[in-house]
Amino acid sequence: MALGCASGPSSKLRSLGAPSGSGPVSFEVDNRTQTIVNNLYLAESARVKAAGRKAFEAGSPEQVELWGNDLLRSGLEIRGKVPVPISAPGRYDVRVVARDGEREQRVTGLRLEAGGRYVLELHEGGWRPIQ
């Protein structure tokens, strides 16, 4: 599910075939928006759901604790793709920040199964102002 207020399609997860049920998870993010993505974060959905209000305030220590380190070495260009390491199957939330630093997307509850291959397509409809 993508949260958003911009016009255009929402971001969505695509499964590339049926998961085998064993083996690593292959996951990549495909930037189909009209802006460069500056930062990308990944957290287990259960942790995000249980987080307090401070974890969603830009720049707060609680936000850093919840989302961890930025997974991009450099920005994700328009039409660019980047693989994202997944340590174990499960449900995950993804948070990306636009190059302008004023907008973000949070895509929640991504179910990533063992042996699955997935692409998260970021679209314009998912952007919202950073609080």
Name residues of the chain where pLDDT drops below 70.
1-7
Q: What is the pLDDT of residue 4?
A: 41
> How does pLDDT run across 75-113, given as a tens digit for each residue?
999 999 999 999 999 999 999 999 999 999 999 999 999
Please give the structure tokens belonging to residue 78. Answer: 């328009």
What's the distance, CA 102 to chain centroid? 16
Predicted local confidence at residue 6, as pLDDT: 54
Check residue 8 and give its pLDDT. Answer: 75
Predicted structure pTM score: 0.90
Unique residue bearing structure tokens 């499964």: 15
What are 67's two structure tokens? Answer: 């989302």
